[in-house]
Amino acid sequence: MKRLVVFWILAAGVGAGAAITTVEQGERDPESVAAAERTASAEPTAVDDRVTVVENDGEGATTKRVTKTERAKHKAQRAEQQKAKRSPEKASGTSTAEPTPDPTTWRDAPAADAAECPGTSRGIVVDRQWQRAWLCADGAIATVFPITSAASQPDPGTYPIYALDYQSYSNFGDAPSTLDRFVAFTYGKYQGARIAFHAVPYYADGSLAQPLESVGELGRFGETSGCIRVLPDHADLIYGTMQVGDEVRVIS
């Protein structure tokens, strides 16, 4: 509904209303207006995002109200504590891994170093400490192979190859033996005998001075009188590759 507001304009000398002007207004409830004004001026209501948690310290449970952010942080801390209890060695920085076993063969040695190769285009490096040697070609490592050597000779140094015998013989040891692919590069410092690379010696009955699979074992270091024993295939390789004048470098 609408109400009419009537303004009576009284004119001088006129006894009755000379003109009527009407204005229409929307009907408004005074109480609704007052409530709307109070709502507009009121402060926004804060949202309570707290949750109730129960904590037990071993002596009794307690209840308190915390925010959701505090609750999430608390849960993360508890998870880390439980993880540390399950894995104490990780929390303390210690390890329960098995210790690394002691090296036993030439395969346990660190990588061969091409920088040790002799200055000649072909050469051999002898590493008595690790019972291995490597063949070099133009300063690069061509192949690494196991050896069995003496404990005290040859001394570290560089030696030129001076003889290549397809087959040689030795009277050292318990019985005479045959030494195939004999490549000599120095002399023994005790008896002056030739020191060379050669295949594992064998006796008249065909038996070997040592099992082929044992070549390169660190436990056999010092088993020869001075020569460098190698596997038959490596003896063929050395004999077929090296020439008189090529260098052998002993590094240990």
Where in the chain are the domains? 112-250
Predicted confidence at residue 31, as pLDDT, reads 59
**Please, which residues have CB within 8 angstroms of residue 208's CB and are 6 or more apart in sequence?**
200, 201, 202
Number of H helices, E strands in the chain: 4, 13
Burial class (CB in 10 A: 0-12, 13-18, 19+), 70: middle
Please compute, for residue 21, the number of CA atoms within 13 A of its CA located in the half-sphere on the CB side.
5
What Å distances lie between residue 162 and 53, 148, 151, 236, 245, CA to CA? 89, 21, 23, 17, 6
Predicted confidence at residue 163, as pLDDT, reads 98
Predicted confidence at residue 126, as pLDDT, reads 98
Q: Which two tokens stand for residue 119?
A: 């200055």
Predicted confidence at residue 85, as pLDDT, reads 61
| CA–CA separation, 56 and 40 (whole Å) | 46
| CA–CA separation, 19 and 27 (whole Å) | 25
For domain 112-250, the question of CATH label 2.40.440.10 is answered with yes
Q: Which two tokens stand for residue 150?
A: 């003496």
Task: With CA atoms as reference, report the closest residue to 108 among 124, 126, 132.
Answer: 132
Predicted confidence at residue 77, as pLDDT, reads 77
Predicted confidence at residue 38, as pLDDT, reads 59
| CA–CA separation, 164 and 194 (whole Å) | 12
In the 8-state DSSP scheme, what is residue 76?
H
Q: Which two tokens stand for residue 93?
A: 């920085």
Query: What's the average pLDDT block by block, 10 residues per block, for the chain (252 residues)?
Result: 39 40 46 55 53 54 67 75 60 58 92 96 97 98 98 97 97 88 97 96 96 97 95 98 98 96
**Please, which residues have CB within 8 angstroms of residue 84's CB and are 6 or more apart in sequence?**
90, 91
Task: With CA atoms as reference, report the closest residue to 198 among 147, 122, 154, 143.
Answer: 147
